[in-house]
A and B are shown apart, each in its own frame.
Chain A
Amino acid sequence: TQLLEQSPQFLSIQEGENLTVYCNSSSVFSSLQWYRQEPGEGPVLLVTVVTGGEVKKLKRLTFQFGDARKDSSLHITAAQPGDTGLYLCAGARNQGGKLIFGQGTELSVKP
């Protein structure tokens, strides 16, 4: 049973396009993290959201935590080839708890 459903799993777009990645669950999370991973490397933390309805921006990336803290989204504006990578969402049921990962979204941005 996948507790955190991430979609889409694969996304190939042209430079300059916008995209949104979703993470959905029927469970409530105390926090949700988004990571980006490049081949052969470990995931790099992009953002942590902890409050329902919270929106955080990181340059062209916008992260949102659902009001009920069951879902989250990552929106990238004007994607660039450097955004290519595996994006992972991960939720924690409680502070200090283990992370539950989504399936990941493999993003490819073509010039």
Chain B
Amino acid sequence: QITLKESGPTLVKPTETLTLSCTFSGFSLSTHEEAVGWIRQPPGKALEWLAVIYSDDDKGYNPSLESRLTIKRATSKNQVVLTMTNMDPVDTATYYCARRTGSYLLFGHWGQGTLVIVSS
């Protein structure tokens, strides 16, 4: 059974750096063509893809947010970590991690998400 779970702070202040962890089970990021991504969703709004990390440690970022994002993995812990710098109230959202399906960037398994509020 494949599971993913996000963890991190619920509240961050403007200008701070957000660090989120995704702990997963049921698959290994060391397996060829596996990938884990992050997607966020502001309350009542649409989904926005943020970043992805692949089994070969290649990474991809949303071009509009790339300067603020870093994704990395801790393979031995089955974890993927996302950092986002210079947080702003518009970054308030539920942040999801998800495992991609097949060889393309579509996501067949999702965590339940973690709500991050940016407020002073």
| Chains A and B are bound partners | no
List residues of chain B with CB under 8 Å of any chain A CB.
Answer: none
Residues of A at the B interface (CB closer than 8 Å) are: none
